[in-house]
Amino acid sequence: MTGHDAKGNLHRYVAEFIGTFALVFIGAGACIAHHAHPDDITHVGVALAFGGVVTCMVWCLGHLSGAHINPAVTVALAAARRFPIRRVPPYVAAQCAGGLLAGAAHLLTFGGEAAGNARFGATFPVGTTLAGAFAFEFILTFILMLVIMAVATDARVPRGVGGLAIGAAVCIDCLAAGKCCGASMNPARSLGPAVFAGGPALGHLWLYLLAPALGALAAAATYQWLRTATDLTAPTVRTEHNADRKAPPSPSDRA
């Protein structure tokens, strides 16, 4: 690897770190504010905060790193051969570090009492069983990843809609199940708050690491299967990790 390549990769990792930090700081921060002011920051407001920050980060950082800001997305794209496997570990490390720093920032900004009372905006099953929460997270992440596969890897999807489409998917998922399971869809989003909250959030963390990863992998495989019969006329583009794929480079490859 040349010095130029190493510098380019560092920029990608920093972009993923910043994007995930922003996601958790704004999204989980809205959860903390909602706990303190439920009539002002409503459940709809929390969903809009998550969807809005994802939209902003995709449009801001997508051309730099792909704006995965989610370990489940990174792993699923790599499994679908839409992202280089060698970049998975540093991407996931950067994303998790961003989530952890966001939890620390909540401790500083909201204070230990306010953030602790809201469990740092952590995710855990509420009003559903453990199996129900697992199923929720699997299905919600499946929907999100299906959208990501379309807008990030398919040449037939209009350019420029990615940020809005992905943010909308996050928003509607949060509206549908945020009150039941937290609608994480993102291991890094759950990791930071859980580490600082401890207790039930940390005890249920395995669910929010595993279910989103499985849901994303299933969605990536499903979209790959759906497109096989319909993309035979799409332009073939050579990329570093899939020389014959019939799609434009993903945002990660364009960076």
- Please tell me the predicted confidence (pLDDT) of residue 199: 92
**Strand intervals (E) in 42-161:** none
Taking the C-alpha atoms of residue 133 and residue 211, their distance in angstroms, rounded to an integer, is 9
Which tokens in the block code for residue 211?
Answer: 């279910």
Cβ–Cβ under 8 Å, residues 172 and 250: no
DSSP, res 85: G
**pLDDT over 60 (residue 255):** no
Alpha helices in the chain (DSSP H): 3-36, 43-65, 71-79, 88-110, 112-117, 130-153, 162-181, 187-197, 199-203, 205-228, 251-254
- Each residue of 167-216: pLDDT tens digit? 999 999 999 999 999 999 999 999 999 999 999 899 999 999 999 999 99
Share of the chain above pLDDT 70, in %: 86
Compute the half-sphere exposure of residue 91: CA atoms within 13 Å on the CB side of its CA: 24
pTM for the structure as a whole = 0.87
- Each residue of 33-81: pLDDT tens digit? 999 998 888 999 999 999 999 999 999 999 999 999 999 999 999 999 9
- Each residue of 79-136: pLDDT tens digit? 999 999 999 999 999 999 999 999 999 999 999 999 999 999 999 999 899 999 999 9
- Please tell me the predicted confidence (pLDDT) of residue 127: 82
Residue 2 pLDDT level (bands cut at 50, 70, 90): low
Which tokens in the block code for residue 168?
Answer: 């909308």
Taking the C-alpha atoms of residue 33 and residue 96, their distance in angstroms, rounded to an integer, is 23
**pLDDT over 70 (residue 3):** no
- For the chain, domains (ranges, CATH) are 3-254 (1.20.1080.10)
Q: Which residues contact 200 (CB under 8 A, 6 or more apart)?
A: 119, 124
Pick from 76, 59, 66, 47: nearest CA to 187: 76
**Residue 99's CB: how many other CB atoms inside 10 A?**
29
Taking the C-alpha atoms of residue 219 and residue 146, their distance in angstroms, rounded to an integer, is 5
Residue 247 pLDDT level (bands cut at 50, 70, 90): very low
Which tokens in the block code for residue 251?
Answer: 């945002």
Pick from 27, 4, 19: nearest CA to 171: 27
Pick from 231, 77, 242, 84: nearest CA to 145: 77
Which tokens in the block code for residue 169?
Answer: 């998917």
